[in-house]
A = this chain, B = another copy of it.
Amino acid sequence: MMKIAILGLGTVGGGVLKLLQKVNEARTDSKIDITHVLARDIKDETLDLTGIIVTDDVDEILNSDIQLIVEVLGGVDFPYAVQRKALERGIHVVTANKDMLALHLNELAQIANQHQAQIGYEASCGGGIPIIQPLQYSLNANKINKVMGILNGTTNYILTKMADEQCEYQEALAQAQALGYAEKDPTNDIEGDDAARKIAILSRLAFKVNIPLERVEVRGISQVDQQDIQLAQENGFTLKLLGKSRQVVDAISISVEPVLLPTTHSLANVKLEKNAIFIEGDAVGQTMFYGPGAGSSETASAVVSDILFIEKFGFTGNLTTQESGHFTKSITDHRYYIRLEEDMSLLKERLTAMNIKYQLWQNDEITAVLTATISEPTFKALTQELTLAAYYQIEGE
């Protein structure tokens, strides 16, 4: 009977408690013993805390004979300190805390390995979608070349509304807030920071190298214009905010940015608040994992799968990584969608001068250019001193 504590009883913590109790109910053999919960005040009256010690003193929990803590507190510094302390005592940790992991996972993994403690973080990326375990155990015969994901439900909801219902950005954001998909201060989601943490965590696991968070180039969706979405759609492309990374030899390109995908691409059809992660491996080719990126019972599904895995297998070893070669966007060539504030003639002249083929896309509202495949440095040279109204890489071709 494994003794565990749940640290944090918010949306995810409450979901974990309920799901564990359900799993226990269905079991005829040994149950999972939830001995402690770390919480100040418990707002959710549907939670059954019978036989569970509720405390706001984390040391009371870490000093007990607890074997595993579920850290679903949110924040960075306190969770980091708590996880570190737990791992140093050989206590397993299961967490959904992407903000903290994106900064400290490698260090924590080293500490954990020294003390034969396991870190489970299936819930940190893609909510309920199985992705960490499949990368670790199902695609492990592959060298992973590419990871691309719709990793943030808020922005995907907004972009879906803008595309399918011709909403303006502000209106779509307000809808997302009304439905609880976006927070009052949506900066973290909208500006791509949330997705950046997730693509950093996934890419570290996929490529087995350090991914310092500051190396992820981030561009959010607050500048996205309805008109570009419509023009792209008319030409068979869908705008999505992707976390994406690619490894070529020892160079890594990693970013979060809005890109255009062919409407037939599997990621293009991931709608509203749903998430999906696309993985390309040298043996398996292209795979995709789709599902709920957030939610109480959905995220709990991932958290509890980690708990059950650790219950069955105990310490199985945590991946630790080293520095990679270098980070550069210039390893990936793309077609580019470009629209200028000013008249397009200067851009056209340059394209011709640089011998870059292009298509013109236009409708009643706007005109844009779709270039042939060029490198990132070429794109930079091409658009130097021009005022760009919008530019997007074409992905997934």
Please list the residues of chain A having a beta carbon within 8 angstroms of any beta carbon in chain B: 19, 22-23, 26, 122, 128-130, 133-134, 137-143, 264, 266, 269-271, 281-292, 295, 297-298, 300-302, 304-305, 308-309, 312-313, 316
Nearest CB on B from A232, distance (A): 18
Which residue of chain B has the shortest Cβ distance to A304 in the bound complex? B141
Q: Which one of B137, B266, B300 contacts A141 once the chains associate, using CB atoms below 8 Å?
A: B300
Contact across chains for A130 and B141 when beta carbons are under 8 A apart: no
Contact across chains for B269 and A266 when beta carbons are under 8 A apart: yes
Q: Which one of B23, B134, B298 contacts A130 once the chains associate, using CB atoms below 8 Å?
A: B134
List residues of chain B with CB within 8 A of the CB of A301.
139, 141-142, 281, 283-284
CA A289 – CA B286 in complex, angstroms?
A: 11
Q: Which one of B134, B139, B283 contacts A138 once the chains associate, using CB atoms below 8 Å?
A: B134
CA A372 – CA B290 in complex, angstroms?
A: 29
Nearest CB on B from A242, distance (A): 16
List residues of chain B with CB within 8 A of the CB of A309.
137
Nearest CB on B from A145, distance (A): 13
CA A308 – CA B283 in complex, angstroms?
A: 15
CA A297 – CA B141 in complex, angstroms?
A: 10
Residue from A129, A282, A284 having most chain B Cβ neighbours under 10 A:
A284
Contact across chains for B128 and A284 when beta carbons are under 8 A apart: yes
Contact across chains for A284 and B298 when beta carbons are under 8 A apart: yes
Asked if A287 meets B138 with Cβ closer than 8 Å, knowing A271-B264, A313-B313, the reply is no
List residues of chain B with CB within 8 A of the CB of A304.
141, 283
CA A290 – CA B285 in complex, angstroms?
A: 11
Asked if A287 meets B281 with Cβ closer than 8 Å, knowing A140-B305, A142-B301, A308-B141, the reply is no
List residues of chain B with CB within 8 A of the CB of A271.
264
Q: Which one of B129, B139, B143, B308 contacts A140 once the chains associate, using CB atoms below 8 Å?
A: B308
Nearest CB on B from A237, distance (A): 15
Contact across chains for B290 and A287 when beta carbons are under 8 A apart: yes
Which residue of chain B has the shortest Cβ distance to A289 in the bound complex? B289
Smallest CB-CB A-B distances: 9 pairs:
A130-B138, A287-B291, A141-B304, A284-B301, A288-B290, A283-B301, A128-B284, A130-B134, A283-B297
Contact across chains for A291 and B302 when beta carbons are under 8 A apart: no
CA A269 – CA B261 in complex, angstroms?
A: 14
Contact across chains for A141 and B305 when beta carbons are under 8 A apart: yes
Nearest CB on B from A255, distance (A): 23
Contact across chains for B141 and A23 when beta carbons are under 8 A apart: yes
Nearest CB on B from A266, distance (A): 6
List residues of chain B with CB within 8 A of the CB of A269.
264, 266, 269
